[in-house]
Amino acid sequence: MAGVNPVDPPVVSALIAAGGRGVRLGAGQPKQFIEIAGQSILERSIERFATQPSVSEVVVALPPEHLEPMTSRLAALGWSQVRCVEGGPRRQDSVENAFRAARPDATVLAIHDAARPFVPPAVIDRTIAAAVAHGAAIAALPVRDTVKQAGGSRGAEARPIATTLAREDIFLAQTPQAFRREVLARAFEVAHAEGLDVTDEAMLAERAGFAVHLVEGDAGNVKITTSEDLAAARARLERATESTGLVRIGTGYDLHRLAAGRPLILGGVTIPFELGLVGHSDADILCHAVTDAVLGAAAAGDIGRLFPDTDPAWKGADSIKLLEGATAQLRHSGYRVVNVDATVIAQRPKLVPYLDAMRANLARALGVSAEQVSVKGKTNEGVDSAGRGEAMACHAVALVARASIDD
């Protein structure tokens, strides 16, 4: 039996297998691109991993013709930690392509079917933890019914029972399936050497001599394969909409130091001042706080998760663009902005002359009228770093509502 050494903490890359055509659904397009409640099945699956704190990056394997459109789509959503690669003719080819493109320091690879958009966060973390401990693990469900193995000829109208299997030992495989890097690399080597064609990566790991461990899956982690599955998924989201209500609230906060040699930008407005805010992007604390409020209302993470300051792509970035990405994320969660209220805490300069321009910029990014955006300026009466003029801070609240079909 091949062995592995546990690594702590793991760097996790999620690999989304989305290279298939989904012909069994009969929808005239790959099933992963079908929308349910305003968001594609694939986007819902990606979101489960892109917003999971234990996951460092997501690599999606796609049909070649969808590579460029989906890359643009993900950029608009602000998911900077998600990358797309070309898939292959088989599932295992697509997964291997994603594996080769994953960050080289990833110690655990978590593989997930694009057609499973409802995987719970707890299942993701259980599978990753088991892979760290044992080298390879999959989410799975025990069967509830008595299991019969059929004999006779396949396709016959009636087949005899060959044997009755002990259902306590029978499990239905789900995804994610997670593997230590060296385990998955060796599994692909064996697949090439033996010409294997399998339905999941656990089979490859087994053939390579690794013990694959089972962790508890979830009955709601369904795979959308048929038109009946699609109808059930849509009904499920309708019920979820009814149970979660129509209105949600998010809060946001940001603070940055002031320093010479930096422009002072608030709400997309450049304000004449001898000091500016220090940060990886343009350090627009007003946009950042509102962005976090919008993402919080959508339960979609925070600005640091979607636009990390470790990514050079966001160095000096226009924070209005980041807010637009958060707004797109909100819409794809099925909500729209009702109103935003923000308070900028700054000892100097006076912000009153610029507030209306800030409101207008925020409103455009949020897709609302300026009347739905409030921006106020307050001093801190000489107290703490903001009061001493060493920093500025901003608090924001966003009220969002369930979007109608017309929205």
- Residue with token string 């909409």: 241
Tell me the two tokens of residue 61. Answer: 């394997």
What pLDDT is stored for residue 201 in this prediction? Answer: 95
User: Do 110 and 131 touch, CB atoms closer than 8 A?
Assistant: yes
Q: What is the pLDDT of residue 405?
A: 35
181-194 vs 91-101: helix axis angle to the nearest 10? 140
DSSP, res 203: H
The C-alpha angle with vertex 260 and arms to 258 and 263, in degrees rounded to 5, equals 75
| Helix or strand run (H / E) with residue 238 | helix 227-244
Q: Label residues 360-384 b or e (16+ Cβ within 10 Å = b).
A: bbbbbbbebebebbbbebeebeeee
Q: Is 136 exposed, middle or buried (0-12, 13-18, 19+ CB in 10 A)?
A: buried
Cβ-contact 303, 326 below 8 angstroms:
yes
**Cβ burial 181-204 (10 Å sphere, 16+ → b, else e):** bbbbebbbebbeeeeeebebbbbb
Asked if omega into 272 is within 30° of 0 (cis), the reply is no
- Give 131-176 as a DSSP string: HHHHSEEEEEEE--S-EEEE-S-TT-SS--EEEEE-GGG-EEEEEE
- Quote the CA–CA distance of 175 and 115 in Å, as a whole number: 10
Rounded CA separation 205/153 (Å): 30
Sign of the C-alpha dihedral computed for residues 357, 363, 368 and 371 taken in this order: negative
Structure confidence at residue 51 (pLDDT): 81
Number of Cβ within 10 Å of residue 345's Cβ equals 19
Question: Hey, what's the torsion of the CAs at 47, 123, 220, 294, to 10 degrees?
Answer: -30
Q: For residue 2, what pLDDT is reported?
A: 45
CA-wise closest residue to 16 among 58, 72, 64? 58
Helix axes 41-50, 121-134, angle to 10 degrees: 60
How far is the C-alpha of 25 from the C-alpha of 23, rounded, in Å? 5
Q: Token pair for residue 301?
A: 């993470």
What is the 8-class DSSP label of residue 246? S
DSSP codes joined into one string, 347-366: SSS--GGGHHHHHHHHHHHH
- What are the backbone angles phi and psi of residue 318, rounded to the nearest 5°? -75, 115
In terms of Cβ atoms closer than 10 Å to its own Cβ (0-12, 13-18, 19+), residue 334 is: buried
Q: Give CA–CA dist 150/304, Å, rounded.
A: 54
Rounded mean pLDDT for each run of 10 residues along the chain, 407 residues in total:
58 93 64 84 91 90 92 78 93 96 97 94 94 97 92 89 92 97 96 93 95 96 91 80 70 96 96 94 95 91 80 84 88 85 95 95 90 93 88 96 55
pLDDT given at position 6: 55
How far apart are alpha carbons 341 and 294 in whole angstroms?
11
Q: What angle do CA 381, 386, 387 make, to 5 degrees?
A: 25
The pairing of strands 147-150 and 247-260 is: unpaired
Between CA 229 and CA 244 the distance in angstroms is 22
Instruction: Give the per-residue pLDDT at 407.
Output: 41
Residue with tokens 């955006």: 373
Domains detected in the chain: 12-242 (3.90.550.10), 246-402 (3.30.1330.50)
- pLDDT at residue number 28: 66
